[in-house]
């Protein structure tokens, strides 16, 4: 399985991150999700799921920052278009990102249960996008947590693909 996210010299375009224009943000957060191309999904795949996280946030905040998690994308998905998180262009069940946790405690699901782009506070960060091909659809409701996601995919992963992109300060 393979995936591709467009970058500029390895970094996400401004539209999808901290440098987004005010019109591309909501409550100060960049909310336009980047496009993703997917290929070579294995036979027998019933759904796709993914995580988009920042492990470089650990020294800053003490934990991996979750920017976007989603499950139950159709197995036939080959392209996730720009802003799919907000528009619903691809059916998916989106979980909570880290703004929903006690650190920020965002309650607006337009922010807390959708894509929130990179906003590195101290230096350029590496952001990890991991795609999962699953042999089932997951029994998850909107606003699930990352630990629930990992529990749900256990024993159901047929293949994974991972890429890293840079979020600029």
Residue 6: per-residue pLDDT? 97
What's the pLDDT band for 117 if we cut at 50, 70, 90?
very high
Alpha carbons 118 and 99: distance in angstroms, whole number = 12
Dist. CA 137–CA 86, nearest whole Å: 21
Q: How far apart are CA 115 and CA 31, in angstroms?
A: 6
Question: What does the pLDDT look like over 124-157, one tens digit per residue?
Answer: 999 999 999 999 999 999 999 999 999 999 999 9
Q: What is the CA radius of gyration of the chain?
A: 15
- pLDDT of 130 reads 98
**Contact (CB, 8 A) for 57 and 74:** no
CATH number (domain holding residue 127): 3.90.280.10
Whole-angstrom Cα distance, residue 153 to residue 121? 31
pLDDT the model gives residue 101: 83
> 18 lies in which domain range?
2-167
Q: What is the pLDDT of residues 19-35, one digit of tens each?
A: 999 999 999 999 999 99
Q: Domain count of the chain?
A: 1
């Amino acid at each position: 399985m393979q995936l591709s996210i467009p970058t500029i010299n390895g970094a996400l375009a401004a539209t999808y991150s901290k440098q987004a224009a005010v019109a591309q943000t909501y409550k100060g957060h960049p909310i336009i999700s980047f496009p993703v191309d997917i290929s070579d999904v294995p036979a027998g795949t019933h759904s796709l799921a993914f995580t988009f996280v920042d492990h470089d946030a650990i020294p800053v905040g003490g934990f991996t920052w979750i920017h976007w998690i989603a499950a139950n994308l159709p197995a036939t998905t080959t392209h996730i278009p720009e802003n799919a998180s907000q528009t619903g262009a691809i059916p998916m069940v989106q979980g909570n990102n880290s703004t929903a946790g006690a650190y920020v405690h965002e309650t607006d699901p337009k922010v807390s249960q959708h894509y929130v782009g990179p906003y590195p506070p101290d230096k350029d960060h590496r952001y990890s996008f991991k795609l999962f091909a699953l042999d089932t659809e997951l029994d998850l409701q909107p606003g699930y947590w990352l630990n629930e996601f990992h529990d749900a995919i256990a024993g159901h992963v047929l293949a994974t693909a991972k890429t890293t992109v840079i979020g600029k300060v």
